[in-house]
Amino acid sequence: MPTIVVEVMPKAELLDPQGKAVAGVLGRLGKTRFTSVRLGKRFELTVDGPVDEAVLAEVRELADSVLSNAVIEDVVGIHVVGAESTVGVSA
């Protein structure tokens, strides 16, 4: 069964307090090569059957209306993992 992965990130112009906290920890651990961190969300939706344009349209709608908050987040990626995909995917 294929899985559709939806990736959501905070909007670039918004403060990411969790990312800032992780970046602080990295600095305290001496990992100074990494100057910033942003945390996001990953959703995996398993599909019963092949993934076609209709399924992807439904996932895009869900990503915008349920999986993300359009005021503070962007859907940055939608891709299919598995062999039953019949279409190419992007965000």
Per the DSSP assignment, residues forming a β-bridge with 79 are: 5
The conformation of residue 34, written as its DSSP 8-state character, comes to -
Q: Can you give the pLDDT at residue 54?
A: 95
Q: Can you give the pLDDT at residue 1?
A: 86
Candidates 74, 80, 75, 82; CA nearest to 13 is 74
Q: Which residue has the higher pLDDT, 32 or 82?
A: 32
| pTM of the predicted protein model | 0.83
**pLDDT tens, position by position, 6-29:** 999 999 999 999 999 999 999 999
Residue 44, pLDDT above cutoff 80:
yes
Q: How many whole angstroms separate alpha carbon 21 and alpha carbon 62?
A: 30
Q: How many CB atoms lie within 10 A of CB 85?
A: 19
Strands laid side by side in the 41-46 sheet: 41-46, 3-10, 73-81
CB contact at 8 A, 9 and 63 = no
